[in-house]
Amino acid sequence: MDCSEELNHAKEFQREFSWDVIAGHRERLMRLVRRRLPNAQDAEDCVQEAMLRAAAHGNLDHERIGPFLTSVALRLCVDHYREQERRRRLLRRAAEARVPELPDEGVCDQDFGRWLLGQVDLLRGRERQVVLARAQGISTLEFARMHQISVKAAEGAFTRGRARLRLVCARALDGVMA
């Protein structure tokens, strides 16, 4: 047997030994993951993935295999829930996709927007400036920099202006309802 054959034989023995050590943690990992994932198939997939990652890790110390597998399995559980949440949000957004609005609704919205923009002129100085800047797509931070004021002052002016506009809208709607 030459050196290359001995080296290959040693690597093969190392892989088999590693897999036996890794597979010895399977039941413990299943108990650990099964408590965290409601579906048995998901738990099995998670444990198999953790074991494959450990097997693929060539230079893993045999004494560290247990903690490594535990860490990977727990992270895979977290990844599972992240993916589930991502899908839930995507489905919610897809379900919220509105039916195209009727033309009269668009006309009413545009008319309300024009009326509301006219009400902005009734606001006081800084409040009017920041609300109009936001209507043009300028952020509160950019507005603060342009006018050399603190961000807190700009945010406060915007919040006060928006509150006054809400009050004007509420009063106008109460007048319509009466």
What pLDDT does 46 receive? 94
Residue pLDDT, tens place only, 24-73: 999 999 999 999 998 899 999 999 999 999 988 877 787 888 999 999 99
What pLDDT does 118 receive? 86
What pLDDT does 104 receive? 78
HSE at residue 122, side-chain half, CA atoms within 13 A, is: 13
81 token code pair: 């829930």
What pLDDT does 17 receive? 57
Q: How far apart are CA 69 and CA 59, in angstroms?
A: 14
What pLDDT does 15 receive? 56
With cut-offs at 50, 70 and 90, classify the pLDDT of residue 13: very low
> 12 pLDDT exceeds 70?
no
Q: How far apart are the first and last CA of the chain?
A: 101
What pLDDT does 112 receive? 85
158 token code pair: 């915007």
pTM above 0.75, yes or no: no
With cut-offs at 50, 70 and 90, classify the pLDDT of residue 178: very low
Q: Which percentage of the chain shows pLDDT scores above 90?
A: 37
* 77 vs 5, more confident: 77
Residue pLDDT, tens place only, 71-123: 999 999 999 999 999 999 888 877 776 666 677 777 888 888 888 888 888 88
Q: Is 162 helix (H, G, I), strand (E, B) or coil?
A: helix
